[in-house]
Amino acid sequence: MQIDTSEQRKGILFALSAYGMWGLFPIYFKSVAEVSPFEVLSHRIIWSVIFMALFIAASGRCQELLRNLRQKKLLAKLAASAILISINWVVFIWSVGQGHILDTSMGYFINPLVSLLLGMLILGERLRRVQWLAVSMAVIGVAYQLVLLGSLPWVALVLACSFGTYGLLRKQIVVDPFSGLLIETLLLSPFALLYLFWLAQHNELAFVSESVRMSVLLIAAGIVTSLPLICFAAGAKRLTLTINGLLMYITPSLTFILAVVVYDEPLDANKLVTFALIWTGLILFTAEGIWQSKKMPVKTLKAQP
């Protein structure tokens, strides 16, 4: 299947917008770092529900959403994926606020290799030799940090494993990405509202009680969460798996640059060795993927948040 050149250009612009916004996430979450991670998470859930509901209504997808809401098995699966993505979100929010942006970058660099490993362990997919080598490089990188520093890079591992498992689960759920995100956040919203109510009862709610600027920033969490997904979905249907696979590294690369250049996080020699091993694995993984894609028909990527 050949892709129209003008459509491909549009797809690249949409994908660049999505991956760029995701890569600049630390700027937003740094600006709300004085608010507790769980309150930020709660606002992210509530305002995402509102933003995505408006988007679905404006784009004429209400009937599809209602059909999905009537499927009990689908709701149960999305409840599981909602738990996974909420773990990923709160760890990311906490990490940025605590000055561990480099660790979040490492997590999302590792993520494709974790997804590869999960595919083998859970779906029974067979890894090719170069893929095994790529995964091994990442494992060696993590082991190097464990041996030399005496601790696992748990932030990176939790982010990579939670998002990798989330992606694996969402891959098996037949639902469009917009309805999927709305239903996930809808399922989480009662807990988010209860937590915000509890904070208000204890006079610990930052929303409204803090500055107007902070309240606006917390409301913006819905747009920050939803807008990249909309751009991603628009780009994914116009691009091949190979192009999307290459563009996705924009996100952790931008995060890495922000951590080192803007926020002055220390990048010592030991951590740099870990990154170098992971990058080597990714280069092998990507190069092998490009070589394999030349032997197969062109496919577009199914959109997932």
What is the pTM for the complete model shown? 0.89
Q: For residue 176, count CB atoms less than 10 angstroms from its CB and return exposed for 0-12, middle for 13-18, buried for 19 or more.
A: middle
Q: How many structural domains compose the chain?
A: 1
CA distances from 198 to 79, 147, 189 (A): 23, 42, 14
Domain limits for position 263 = 5-30+37-293
Q: Give domain status of residue 298, yes or no.
A: no
Q: Give domain status of residue 299, yes or no.
A: no
Q: Give domain status of residue 218, yes or no.
A: yes
Dihedral sign, Cα of residue 283, residue 288, residue 291, residue 296: negative
Q: Give domain status of residue 16, yes or no.
A: yes
Q: Give domain status of residue 245, yes or no.
A: yes
pLDDT of residue 234: 86
Q: Give domain status of residue 135, yes or no.
A: yes
Q: Give domain status of residue 142, yes or no.
A: yes
pLDDT of residue 4: 64
Task: Give the model confidence (pLDDT) of 86-143 as tens digits.
Answer: 999 999 999 999 999 999 999 999 998 888 888 888 888 888 888 889 889 988 988 8
Q: Give domain status of residue 302, yes or no.
A: no
Kindly report the number of other CB atoms within 10 A of residue 165's CB atom.
20
